[in-house]
Amino acid sequence: MFSAVLALVGAVVFGAADFFGGLAAKRLRSIVVTAAAALSGLIALLLALAVSGSTWEGSDVALGIFAGAFGVVAVALLYACLAIGPMSILSPLTAVVSAIAPVLWGLLVDGETLPPVALAGLGVALVAVVLVGFIPGEKVVRPTARALLMAIGAGLAIGAFLIVIDQTSPGSGLLPLVMSRGTTAVVTTVIVGALVLAAVRGRRGAASVFAATGEGLGATPSGRADLEHATPAHPTPVPSVARAWWLAAACGVADASANALALLALRGGDLAIVSALTALYPAGTILLAAVVLRERVAGVQGVGLALALVAAGMLALG
């Protein structure tokens, strides 16, 4: 039961990370927010690792880097598929696939056995994932096969991240997450550095790389959500540049904290249950938007939130 609670809290914190990142992306370019969040999350994890300690094993280091590679793939695919759209279909699809892949792995490969109430809870959770991930006001059009494949790929990459992290040894502590976040930080920083170099060579100035322009799409460091649409579509306050940097840093710290909660949940519970609850992360974004921005929760999302609580209770009892 405790692992289920940790996973659900982690999902809410993941949603908070998306919310902070979405606000930051109103002022800063999305890839810049992603890089800044990856770096701040890495610093937070390094500090936590120094305090908590760990056993350094080559296998855990390798698994951490491997998980980070999956995170980079998830970010890249999410960038690509959401740029094509429609988000109202592709975003929930990514979330559902990210839950189904680890659930199947846990049940079929790891041999996890769940009582009937927990199995029913998994079904309720998947329905809740679709409803809370729904984007009100988004024009519904038929997605292309290419967009569907990229959304499924993003979901599989996110699910693979959880599967790989679940294989790490308990004695490794937060080491796998440090290696994973380090991989993401290196890749995104290199991308931003290349953009700055190109801007300087093109005589546009390095500052042009950092400012948000147009309908830029971007993803959180874990690849779980699109930054530009992590906040509601209604007009919201645009933060100052300084505040946007702080929001990007908060996004990284929250995302790293959520990953740590998910890791603790995995080490104390079943992969199938933890992955299903973690996929409910849009609930945190919705709740923060309602409380901080006074946004009205759409009816379908309200149903999703209620089902999420029901699913959490069923999975905890299981």
Banded pLDDT at 140 (limits 50, 70, 90): low
Whether residue 164 has pLDDT greater than 70: yes
Q: Which two tokens stand for residue 52?
A: 């908590």
| pLDDT of amino acid 215 | 55
Of 91-95, 114-118, 153-157, 257-261, the one with minimum mean pLDDT is 91-95
Mean pLDDT of all residues belonging to the chain: 84
Banded pLDDT at 116 (limits 50, 70, 90): confident
Give the span between the Cα atoms of 174 and 54, in whole angstroms: 7
More confident residue, 300 or 106: 106
| pLDDT of amino acid 90 | 76
Q: Where are the domains of the chain?
A: 2-317
| 146 burial via Cβ count (<10 Å: 0-12, 13-18, 19+) | exposed
Of the ranges 70-84, 146-160, 187-201, 249-263, which is most confident?
A: 249-263
Of the ranges 34-43, 144-153, 220-229, 279-288, which is most confident?
A: 34-43
Q: Which residues contact 44 (CB under 8 A, 6 or more apart)?
A: 252, 253, 256, 257
| pLDDT of amino acid 183 | 94
| pLDDT of amino acid 64 | 94
Of 32-41, 66-75, 139-148, the one with minimum mean pLDDT is 139-148
Segment 257-279 mean pLDDT:
90
For the chain, what percentages of helix, strand and coil (3-state, to nearest 5) are there?
75, 0, 25
Whether residue 149 has pLDDT greater than 70: yes
Q: Which two tokens stand for residue 78?
A: 């999410």
Segment 257-265 mean pLDDT:
94
| pLDDT of amino acid 129 | 82
Decide if 121 contacts 315 (C-beta within 8 A): yes
| pLDDT of amino acid 200 | 83
Digit-coded pLDDT (tens) for 45-56: 999 999 987 788
Banded pLDDT at 207 (limits 50, 70, 90): confident
| pLDDT of amino acid 229 | 59
Instruction: Provide the phi-psi class of 214: left if phi over 0, else alpha when psi is between -120 and 50, else beta.
Output: left
Banded pLDDT at 285 (limits 50, 70, 90): confident
Decide if 276 contacts 95 (C-beta within 8 A): no
| pLDDT of amino acid 126 | 85
Secondary structure E strands in 48-122: none
Instruction: Provide the phi-psi class of 142: left if phi over 0, else alpha when psi is between -120 and 50, else beta.
Output: beta
Give the span between the Cα atoms of 90 and 144, in whole angstroms: 10
Whether residue 243 has pLDDT greater than 70: yes
| pLDDT of amino acid 253 | 96
| pLDDT of amino acid 67 | 93
Total residues found in the chain within this entry: 318
Banded pLDDT at 35 (limits 50, 70, 90): very high
Whether residue 263 has pLDDT greater than 90: yes
